């Protein structure tokens, strides 16, 4: 490995160094503020190091990793989300009756896993990244364990996630093994060529089964129907920063990996795989939205809505190889950016009014928020409208992109499912907004701990600006994405 | 540039109105008044400057501006104005002022946010009437929904949550179908010309095959027909109207419904002439059913606002009828009905709102004999009811007469059936007048029996007089409005031809109205 190749891994190395440094600091002297600062600084440095890396890309760094525009784009997105969650976590965790430092440790390790995933073009690194991410997530989900009165939910959520994540890894590995037996390679790009070498135009059933097993592994992590059952419980049981991390970085890394796998290995050339993915998309959209309909716990509601959003994403993923140009890949990337922005914003508002002593995740907590705290209500409304895909927000452009990709790929059935899903979705997003508009006679006081901190509000401001800028003038992001997905 | 200013003034005025509440609770309405007056001045200036075409010699576009917006999809900020748009703009801003008048005394809570929503709705509508890029059009189409939702949801009456949600769901879902149809069109432009485009003029060159054209056309039709609203997509409207505050009803009935009709004239038929021709009998039947069915439903109501809402649907049926007759009489009739119905229904909703404000009830069974106590209000109610019935000499008569005249050339049976709607209109209007304004004076028990409610305030009087004046003008000298829309409609007819082949030359050249 040459020095230049080492330089290409700089973001990953810096995040690793942050982990080590945090651990050493904890050993020397515990301080919540210092741990948070080191984490934030490390992630920022890693982000800045991208300026060094970008001129050198694209390159293969060993057969295991590939640093190109695509991986760097998602690296920056993951680092930014990690940074935002770090900043949100600080006030949230500050009244935890336990040590806070290890949470940041777990967070950086999880970011590390996600970074490896988006750069991998090989099943070994893909699996390694996935497991690094998941294992740290078990810890993050179960973090407020020593608080007696609330400990049961994080524990339950963590065990649930552990079991199902392990099962999905099992499916994934089995699929990889079958594929290896068939093609003799673990590299994404050689799968396509190995298959092309085989006789006959129809891919053998063996290969289809193997790919479907791999996709099952992905579907578990992306919580697509019918592998979604863990999602609401885990979202609800986990502390808010962990939920936000799972919903943004977790989904982001997984979706980026799936996108690279699909576009490099060319699995969509098989009819049956397309069928299975289409059915999953339709069911995710309909079931996710229907189940979210009457939830009064916002974490559960957002978890079901995330199932639906992953279904929308799948529509664009299905058009990846079918189109002239890269419209499908652009649509997926744009939608992911929008999705991360609005999820972070929605969870961010909840974190701003919650702390580890009490989570305000019930819809009733937000009643009359418009007249109590207009600023937070404005941000929340913008995020919800974006999730619903209303203009002036990034969510609208994202939906527009998916529609465009779907029309170009002639996915009429899926698009109608999306229209129906969006209609149902509107209902529950508007329900929250309506509750925020309805005044209450008497307000339960909001916690001081969450509101007095300026940090989360600054992050929310940045998120809101990004949401509206990408919604009104998406040009810059679009041309960036055009160059990014061209390297895929 | 002036069109962009027109939109920006309303957007900025809205934001300013919200902020100005901090100074004084009465400031927002003054800010709103000022920005609406400036907009009105701009429109009047446009009207007086008038005439010369900027696109093609002999064309009808007075102003056409374009700026690059999202080049990836060939989307541009293309805005333009011709006679038809200008009429709609005038109506929008005028009714915006009327809505302001209706809200002047009625809205006392959270005034800043109310006027913010009012102006943003209007900005969205103005955008719809000037946008000539379909993406931009859809953008404004959706932008006006949220503020309208908020107006109903925050300042509405007892069942506002349900009504606001229903309004939003109906319009949003049909909006998504519209978006899908727009994208299909843009994609076919890509397939045929090698690049995406949402430009109105470019998309007219796209060739779609028969069945596919029908599907895409249906996407447009459903999107617009829900807003119009046409039977059977009308069921959101009575709820939204009856629960909205008066200003909200004025905007909904006067302006928002017209965006649907405008979309049909400007986009649906010109973009899909063949499919529209095939579809015309169906659309006309829908119109006829809507006219009769909703007139019947109106007669069954005892909530005055619901009644007016159903009559709105019924009258908008004449617009649909006129559009799909697709000859110069029908189209002119549709445009005139849009204008006249905008004024008359807005006035009737203001009267209903005024009654609700005074007696806290909209129940016609509990209120009667108002003429003895509130003569001015009752006289206005009589005037506008008679206008809505289609009394010759007032605007509605011109509109409905022309619509029927045009439709008669296209389809006699349907026209004959639709004309029965005029009789029904007379029945329910006179019934309302008789029930609420004549007979012994009774009011709901909750209201103190001794206190005599005040008659019209000066602001109300001014609004009603202006609208009455407008209707008389339209009825007595409609030529000043017909002249504005005639060149536009004439060009549309020339470009596309009549939907029914036989009548083409006769209807275009023989149009005495041009």
DSSP secondary structure code for residue A166 in this structure: H
pLDDT at A2: 79
Mark yes or no for CB contact A419/B145 under 8 Å: no
pLDDT at B464: 92
pLDDT grade, residue B503 (50/70/90)? very low
Residues of A in contact with B138 (CB under 8 A): 391
Q: Is A67 exposed, middle or buried (0-12, 13-18, 19+ CB in 10 A)?
A: buried
Report the DSSP beta bridge partners of residue B497: none
Mark yes or no for CB contact A419/B168 under 8 Å: no
Mutation target vs B (from A407, A417, A426, A484; most B CBs, 10 A cutoff): A407
Q: Quick one: residue B390, left, alpha or beta (phi over 0 = left, psi -120 to 50 = alpha)?
A: left
Report the residue from A423, A475, A482 with minimal CB separation from B173. A423
| Relative orientation angle of helices A271-292 and A298-318, to the nearest 10 degrees | 160
- Burial B269-301, CB ≥16 within 10 A → b, else e: bbbbbebbbebbbebbbbbbbbbbbbbebbeeb
Tens-digit pLDDT profile for residues B343-353:
999 999 999 99
User: Is the pLDDT assigned to residue B501 strictly greater than 80?
Assistant: no
User: Is the pLDDT assigned to residue B514 strictly greater than 50?
Assistant: no
Mutation target vs B (from A316, A326, A419; most B CBs, 10 A cutoff): A419
pLDDT grade, residue B504 (50/70/90)? very low
pLDDT grade, residue A263 (50/70/90)? confident
Span B415-430, average pLDDT:
90
pTM of this prediction?
0.91
User: Is the pLDDT assigned to residue B57 strictly greater than 70?
Assistant: no
Q: List the one residue out of A292, A264, A280 whose CA is nearest residue A66.
A: A264
* 3-class DSSP state of B206: coil
Residues of B in contact with A396 (CB under 8 A): 142
Altogether, the residues listed in chain A come to a count of 488
CB contact at 8 A, A190 and A158: no
pLDDT at B512: 40
Phi, psi of B363 (to 5 degrees): -85, 115
Euclidean distance between CA atoms B224 and B222, whole angstroms: 5
Euclidean distance between CA atoms A67 and A54, whole angstroms: 9
* 3-class DSSP state of B117: helix
Euclidean distance between CA atoms A85 and A244, whole angstroms: 7
Euclidean distance between CA atoms A118 and A102, whole angstroms: 25
CB contact at 8 A, B125 and B85: no
Tens-digit pLDDT profile for residues B289-318:
999 999 999 988 888 999 999 999 999 999
Euclidean distance between CA atoms A438 and B449, whole angstroms: 33
Tens-digit pLDDT profile for residues B483-492:
888 888 888 8
Query: Any chain B CB within 8 A of the CB of A419?
Result: yes
pLDDT at A127: 94
Euclidean distance between CA atoms B191 and B185, whole angstroms: 10
pLDDT grade, residue B451 (50/70/90)? low
Euclidean distance between CA atoms B117 and B144, whole angstroms: 9
Contact residues for A409 (Cβ-Cβ < 8 A; gap 6+): A318, A319, A322, A323, A328
Mark yes or no for CB contact B184/A407 under 8 Å: yes
Query: Any chain A CB within 8 A of the CB of B180?
Result: yes
Query: Any chain B CB within 8 A of the CB of A472?
Result: no
pLDDT grade, residue A421 (50/70/90)? very high
Report the residue from A392, A400, A408 with minimal CB separation from B187. A408
Q: From the CB of residue B4, how many other CB atoms can be counted at a distance below 10 Å?
A: 14
pLDDT grade, residue A452 (50/70/90)? low
Q: From the CB of residue A115, how many other CB atoms can be counted at a distance below 10 Å?
A: 29
Instruction: Work out the minimum CA distance from A488 to partner chain B, whole angstroms.
Output: 19
User: Is the pLDDT assigned to residue A349 strictly greater than 90?
Assistant: yes
Higher pLDDT, B497 or B492: B492
Mark yes or no for CB contact A434/B164 under 8 Å: yes
Euclidean distance between CA atoms A118 and A78, whole angstroms: 9
CB contact at 8 A, B35 and B13: yes
Q: List the one residue out of B107, B140, B135 whose CA is nearest residue B10.
A: B140
Tens-digit pLDDT profile for residues A185-218:
888 888 877 777 765 555 677 888 888 999 999 9
pLDDT grade, residue B64 (50/70/90)? confident
Euclidean distance between CA atoms B297 and B294, whole angstroms: 5
Q: List the one residue out of B34, B220, B215 whose CA is nearest residue B134.
A: B220
pLDDT grade, residue B505 (50/70/90)? very low
The H or E element containing residue B243 is helix B236-243
pLDDT at B449: 57
Mean residue pLDDT across chain A: 88
pLDDT grade, residue B319 (50/70/90)? very high
DSSP secondary structure code for residue B433 in this structure: I
Contact residues for A35 (Cβ-Cβ < 8 A; gap 6+): A22, A25, A26, A100, A101, A104, A105
Higher pLDDT, A156 or A150: A156
Q: From the CB of residue B54, how many other CB atoms can be counted at a distance below 10 Å?
A: 12
- What Cα–Cα distance (Å) separates residue A334 from each residue in A50, A484, B346? 20, 11, 43
- Residue A55 tokens read as 């001129």
CB contact at 8 A, B163 and B244: yes
Tens-digit pLDDT profile for residues B424-445:
888 888 888 988 888 888 877 7
Residues of B in contact with A414 (CB under 8 A): none
Instruction: Work out the minimum CA distance from B42 to partner chain A, whole angstroms.
Output: 26
Residues of A in contact with B70 (CB under 8 A): 474-475, 478
Q: Is A324 exposed, middle or buried (0-12, 13-18, 19+ CB in 10 A)?
A: exposed
Higher pLDDT, A140 or B500: A140
* pLDDT cut 70: percent of chain B above it: 93
- Residue A400 tokens read as 């527009």
Question: How far apart, in Å, do the first and last CA atoms of chain B sit?
Answer: 30
Report the DSSP beta bridge partners of residue A25: none
Tens-digit pLDDT profile for residues A51-93:
999 888 788 888 889 999 999 999 999 999 999 999 999 888 8
Query: Any chain B CB within 8 A of the CB of A283?
Result: no
Tens-digit pLDDT profile for residues B252-283:
988 999 999 999 999 998 899 888 888 999 99
pLDDT at B496: 75
CB contact at 8 A, A94 and A100: yes
Euclidean distance between CA atoms A372 and A352, whole angstroms: 14
User: Is the pLDDT assigned to residue A353 strictly greater than 60?
Assistant: yes
CB pairs under 8 A between A and B: 67
HEC string for B464-499:
HHHHHHHHHHHHHCCHHHHHHHHHHHHHHHHHHCCC
User: Is the pLDDT assigned to residue A269 strictly greater than 90?
Assistant: no
pLDDT at B46: 86
Phi, psi of A426 (to 5 degrees): -50, -40
Report the residue from B70, B135, B177 with minimal CB separation from A419. B177
CB contact at 8 A, A333 and A73: yes
Euclidean distance between CA atoms B41 and A264, whole angstroms: 60
């Amino acid at each position: 490995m040459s020095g230049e190749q080492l330089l290409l891994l700089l973001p990953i190395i810096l995040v690793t160094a942050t982990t080590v440094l945090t651990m050493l600091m904890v050993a020397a002297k515990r301080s919540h503020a210092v741990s948070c600062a080191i984490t934030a600084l490390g992630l920022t440095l890693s982000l800045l190091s991208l300026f060094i890396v970008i001129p050198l890309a694209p390159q293969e760094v060993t057969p295991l990793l590939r640093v190109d525009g695509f991986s760097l784009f998602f690296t920056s997105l993951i680092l930014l989300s990690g940074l935002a969650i770090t900043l949100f976590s600080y006030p949230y965790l500050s009244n935890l009756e336990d040590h806070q430092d290890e949470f940041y440790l777990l967070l950086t390790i999880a970011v590390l896993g996600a970074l490896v995933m988006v750069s991998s073009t090989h099943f070994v690194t893909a699996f390694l990244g996935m497991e690094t991410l998941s294992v740290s997530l078990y810890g993050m989900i179960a973090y407020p364990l020593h608080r007696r009165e609330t400990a049961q939910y994080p524990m339950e959520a963590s065990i649930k996630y552990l079991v199902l994540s392990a099962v999905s890894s099992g499916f994934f590995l089995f699929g990889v093994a079958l594929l290896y037996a068939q093609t003799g390679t673990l590299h994404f790009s050689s799968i396509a060529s190995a298959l092309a070498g085989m006789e006959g135009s129809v891919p053998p059933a063996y290969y289809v089964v193997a790919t479907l097993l791999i996709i099952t592994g992905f579907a578990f992590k992306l919580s697509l129907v019918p592998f979604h059952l863990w999602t609401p419980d885990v979202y609800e049981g986990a502390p808010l920063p962990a939920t936000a991390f799972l919903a943004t970085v977790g989904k982001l890394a997984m979706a980026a990996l799936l996108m690279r796998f699909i576009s490099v290995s060319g699995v969509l050339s098989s009819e049956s795989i397309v069928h299975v993915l289409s059915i999953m998309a339709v069911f995710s959209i309909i079931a996710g939205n229907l189940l979210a309909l009457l939830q009064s716990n916002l974490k559960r509601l957002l978890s079901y809505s995330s199932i639906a959003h992953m279904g929308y994403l799948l529509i664009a993923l299905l058009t990846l190889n079918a189109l002239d140009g890269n419209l499908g890949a652009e649509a997926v990337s744009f939608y992911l950016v929008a999705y991360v922005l609005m999820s972070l914003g929605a969870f961010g508002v909840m974190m701003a009014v919650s702390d580890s002593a009490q989570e305000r995740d019930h819809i009733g907590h937000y009643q009359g928020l418009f007249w109590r705290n207009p600023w937070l209500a404005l941000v929340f409304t913008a995020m919800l409208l974006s999730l619903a895909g209303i203009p002036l927000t990034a969510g609208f452009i994202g939906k527009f992109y998916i529609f465009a990709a779907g029309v170009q790929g002639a996915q009429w059935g899926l698009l109608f499912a999306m229209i129906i899903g969006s209609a149902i979705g509107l209902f529950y997003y508007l329900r929250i907004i309506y509750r925020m508009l309805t005044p209450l006679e008497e307000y339960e006081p909001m916690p001081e701990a969450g509101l007095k901190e300026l940090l989360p509000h600054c992050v929310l401001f940045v998120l809101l600006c990004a949401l509206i800028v990408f919604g009104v003038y998406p040009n810059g992001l679009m041309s960036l994405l055009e160059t990014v997905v061209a390297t895929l | 540039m002036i069109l962009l200013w027109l939109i920006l003034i309303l957007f900025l005025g809205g934001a300013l109105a919200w902020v100005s509440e901090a100074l004084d609770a009465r400031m927002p309405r003054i800010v709103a008044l000022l920005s609406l007056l400036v907009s009105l001045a701009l429109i009047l200036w446009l009207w007086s400057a008038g005439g010369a075409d900027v696109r093609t010699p002999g064309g009808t576009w007075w102003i056409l501006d374009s700026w690059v917006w999202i080049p990836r999809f060939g989307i541009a900020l293309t805005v333009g104005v011709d006679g038809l748009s200008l009429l709609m703009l005038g109506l929008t801003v005028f009714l915006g002022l009327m809505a302001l008048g209706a809200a002047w005394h009625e809205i006392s809570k959270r005034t800043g946010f109310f006027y913010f929503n009012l102006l943003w709705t209007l900005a969205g509508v103005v955008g719809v009437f000037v946008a000539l890029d379909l993406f931009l059009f859809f953008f404004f189409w959706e932008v006006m929904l949220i503020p309208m939702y908020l107006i109903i949801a925050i300042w509405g009456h007892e069942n506002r949550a349900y009504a606001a949600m229903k309004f939003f769901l109906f319009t949003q879902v049909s909006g998504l179908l519209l978006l899908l149809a727009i994208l299909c069109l843009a994609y076919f432009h890509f397939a045929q010309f090698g690049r995406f485009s949402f430009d109105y003029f470019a998309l007219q060159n796209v060739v779609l095959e028969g069945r596919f054209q029908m599907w895409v056309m249906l996407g447009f039709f459903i999107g617009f027909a829900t807003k119009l609203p046409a039977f059977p997509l009308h069921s959101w409207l009575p709820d939204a109207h009856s629960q909205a505050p008066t200003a909200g009803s004025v905007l909904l009935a006067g302006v928002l419904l017209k965006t649907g009709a405008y979309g049909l004239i400007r986009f649906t038929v010109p973009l899909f002439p063949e499919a529209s021709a095939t579809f015309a009998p169906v659309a006309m039947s829908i119109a006829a059913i809507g006219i009769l069915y909703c007139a019947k439903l109106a007669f069954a109501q005892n909530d005055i606002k619901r009644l007016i809402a159903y009559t709105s649907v019924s009258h908008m049926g004449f617009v649909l009828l006129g559009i799909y007759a697709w000859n110069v009489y029908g189209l002119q009739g549709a445009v005139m009905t849009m204008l006249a119905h905008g004024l008359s229904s807005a006035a009737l909703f203001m009267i209903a709102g005024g009654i609700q404000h005074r007696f806290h009830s909209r129940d016609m069974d509990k209120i009667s004999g108002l003429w003895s106590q509130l003569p001015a209000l009752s006289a206005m109610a009589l005037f506008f009811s008679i206008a809505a019935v289609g009394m010759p000499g007032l605007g509605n008569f011109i509109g409905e007469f022309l619509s029927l005249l045009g439709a008669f050339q296209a389809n006699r049976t349907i026209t004959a059936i639709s004309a029965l709607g005029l009789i029904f209109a007379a029945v329910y209007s006179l019934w309302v007048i008789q029930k609420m304004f004549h007979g012994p004076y009774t009011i709901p028990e909750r209201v103190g029996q001794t206190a005599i409610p005040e008659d019209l305030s000066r602001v109300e009087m001014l609004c009603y007089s202006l609208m009455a004046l407008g209707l008389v003008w339209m009825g007595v000298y409609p030529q000043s409005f017909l002249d504005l829309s005639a060149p536009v409609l004439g060009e549309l007819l020339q470009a596309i031809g009549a939907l029914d082949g036989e009548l083409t030359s006769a209807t275009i050249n023989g149009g005495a109205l041009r």
